[in-house]
Amino acid sequence: MSEEEKKAESELRRPSCPGCGEPWLRPTQLPGRFRCVYCLRRFELVSQCPNCGEHQTIARMSTTEDMSCQLCGDSMLRAI
């Protein structure tokens, strides 16, 4: 990876992995599925908060905030 590519990568707001905390979560071919290229764990975006049970409307899935419960702030990603 070139220096320019590294810079562009770090400037993008990437969602952080709930498993290792590194911003290496990448969408897979399957909708709502993500894979951390750092720790290689897989995650699924759920529509109901695992913590408080609140249902979320998932409009975008590009940043960490979009993948957090709007009520309690818990991650909407479930390890699979």
Which positions lie near Zn ion, rule CB under 5 A? 17, 19-20, 36, 38-39, 49, 51-52, 54, 69, 71-72, 74
Which secondary structure element, helix H or strand E, spans residue 10, and what is its range?
A: helix 3-11
Q: How far apart are CA 71 and CA 9, in angstroms?
A: 30
CB of 43 to Zn ion, least distance (A): 9
Rounded CA Rg of the chain: 13
| Cβ closest to Zn ion, residue 4 vs residue 38 | 38
Record the tokens describing residue 23, joined without a space: 């911003």
| Cβ closest to Zn ion, residue 14 vs residue 32 | 14
Q: Specify the amino acid at residue 17.
A: C
CB of 49 to Zn ion, least distance (A): 3
CB of 30 to Zn ion, least distance (A): 18
